[in-house]
Structure 1
Amino acid sequence: MSTESTPTDAQTDETNWAVTYDVDPIRIRDPVAEALAVLEPGDPFVVGYEDVVTVAGHSCPTAAGAYRIAQVGLEALYPDSDPVRSEIEVLATGPRDDPGYGITGQLLSVVTGAAGIDGFGGLAGGFGGRQGLLSFDAFQTDAVGPTFRFRRTDTDETVEVTYHVGDVPDGGPAIGHLGDLVEGTASDDQRAAFAEAWHGRVRAVLADDSLFSVTPLED
């Protein structure tokens, strides 16, 4: 017979989302959502880092990096207005089957809507279509670290974003407890130490602008 007590609302909330992060959400308009009365005209979707974590299934420096790549890239591309899905092309310098580029590209698609051949084709006449707006092995660069380009299809303005993943803090020896956590043999102290180190790395990615370079590109 189970001896567990019924969790309180506060405990349930903590179980459902035990880790919190302090990072601004991304506001992005979607013409299809507006046309179908999901959103009022001009109102944006608000995408938070938690949405990216839900898709990825976990929080890590790669997921955090993808979120920040999208955030800083869109802010540079749309300095005076909300970005617009279906008008944003995302180009990756690396291949789709690269563990970093493939996952990052998928998470960038969640935010921007940009997709490959399997993307949304648009309403009648292609309105709001996002198919073919995400490409890999699309350009070459001398930048060190995962690099993506964001292009506005309405103006052709383009920015290049590089994630200096090599500069992310390593988290120290507590990261070594990961194997024990996966095997279920970690002590409470090891789990707590790992969590502090792991999520400390994630918070560093979400907060440190120096980990990202944004370069406007000339035509």
Structure 2
Amino acid sequence: MGYPAFFDRIEPLRLHDPLAEILGSFVDGIVEIHYLDVVRLAGHSCPTVAGAYLMAKKGLEALYGEKTMPERGDIAVEMQQGIGEGVTGVVANVLSYITGATDQGGFHGLAGRFDRRNLLTFGHAGTASVSLIRRDTGRRLSMTYDPSVVPVDPAMERLFPRVLAGKADADEALRFGILWQRRVEAILCEYADDPWLLVLQAEQM
């Protein structure tokens, strides 16, 4: 399976999953999630998917610090918009996959433990688009992601309507895909630490 080489340059996320540890799914319950994994989940790589991955990475780093591994299944995710609004569903799917948080259709738990239902919720008022909450400490991190910070190649803008209309030839379609992924690469590799791309605000509940 071929894919853009920069996928492999993106640092993976490492989390501890106590349920996976008890059931023998992963040694010591350590789960490693790569950008390629979330691209498989979403079915594509785009600024939205990249932003969701970046929010998870930066958000969990801020919540847990360098010495503590994030606890998968013990993180709540709050989305500002409703599930059917904009790209909320795409972002929520990626964050659900990484954190283990699910809506009412998730895992029920075992003997009163590991219940992951209702940890992913929608329609929360506020200015931040996403909030991550540590359930053990109540610490909350709110985030707003703005991919417009990363410039769009004018050639991509010209090709986009032709590709969508099915009028692009093979060379144009290939060129568009390359330019599209270059912008995603810029988001994840060049602008990842730009304070205007992803605004984080920590608070205690």
* Secondary structure in 1 matching 2:138: coil
Deviation of 1:196 after TM superposition, in Å, equals 2.6
For 1:96 and 1:155, how far apart are their aligned partners in 2?
Answer: 27
Q: What residue in structure 1 maps to residue 4 of structure 2?
A: 19
For 1:35 and 1:74, how far apart are their aligned partners in 2?
Answer: 23
Kept after mapping to 2: 8 A contact 1:25/1:47: yes
TM-score (norm 1): 0.84
Kept after mapping to 1: 8 A contact 2:102/2:119: yes
Among 172, 179, 184, the residue aligned to 1:202: 184
Kept after mapping to 2: 8 A contact 1:171/1:200: no
For 1:54 and 1:138, how far apart are their aligned partners in 2?
Answer: 28
TM-score (norm 2): 0.89
Kept after mapping to 2: 8 A contact 1:94/1:137: yes
Kept after mapping to 2: 8 A contact 1:44/1:82: no
Please tell me whether residue 34 in structure 1 is matched to residue 21 in structure 2.
Answer: yes
Q: How large is the RMSD of aligned CA atoms in angstroms?
A: 1.7
Number of matched residues? Answer: 198
* Secondary structure in 1 matching 2:96: helix
Deviation of 1:32 after TM superposition, in Å, equals 0.8
Gaps of 5+ in 2: none
For 1:107 and 1:176, how far apart are their aligned partners in 2?
Answer: 29
Deviation of 1:175 after TM superposition, in Å, equals 3.7
Q: What residue in structure 2 maps to residue 190 of structure 1?
A: 172
* Secondary structure in 2 matching 1:99: coil
Gaps of 5+ in 1: 1-15
Q: What residue in structure 2 maps to residue 173 of structure 1?
A: 155
Kept after mapping to 1: 8 A contact 2:47/2:187: yes
Among 45, 70, 77, the residue aligned to 1:90: 77
Deviations 1:23-68 (A, max 9, x none): 1001111111000011233x41110010110011111101111110
* Secondary structure in 1 matching 2:27: coil
Among 129, 133, 137, the residue aligned to 1:155: 137
The 10-residue stretch of structure 1 (203-212 or 171-180) with the greater mean CA deviation from structure 2: 171-180
Larger radius of gyration: 1
Kept after mapping to 2: 8 A contact 1:117/1:131: yes
Please tell me whether residue 128 in structure 1 is matched to residue 110 in structure 2.
Answer: no
Kept after mapping to 1: 8 A contact 2:14/2:70: yes
For 2:177 and 2:124, how far apart are their aligned partners in 1?
Answer: 37
For 2:149 and 2:131, how far apart are their aligned partners in 1?
Answer: 21
Among 100, 116, 129, the residue aligned to 1:113: 100
Q: What residue in structure 2 maps to residue 217 of structure 1?
A: 203
Q: What residue in structure 2 maps to residue 45 of structure 1?
A: 31
* Secondary structure in 2 matching 1:124: coil
Please tell me whether residue 55 in structure 1 is matched to residue 37 in structure 2.
Answer: no
Kept after mapping to 2: 8 A contact 1:169/1:204: no
Kept after mapping to 1: 8 A contact 2:55/2:198: yes
Deviation of 1:140 after TM superposition, in Å, equals 1.1
For 1:74 and 1:30, how far apart are their aligned partners in 2?
Answer: 14
Q: 4+ residue runs of structure 1 moved beyond 4 angstroms?
A: 182-185
Q: What residue in structure 2 maps to residue 138 of structure 1?
A: 124
Q: Which amino acid aligns with 1:18?
A: Y
* Secondary structure in 1 matching 2:130: strand
Deviation of 1:123 after TM superposition, in Å, equals 1.4
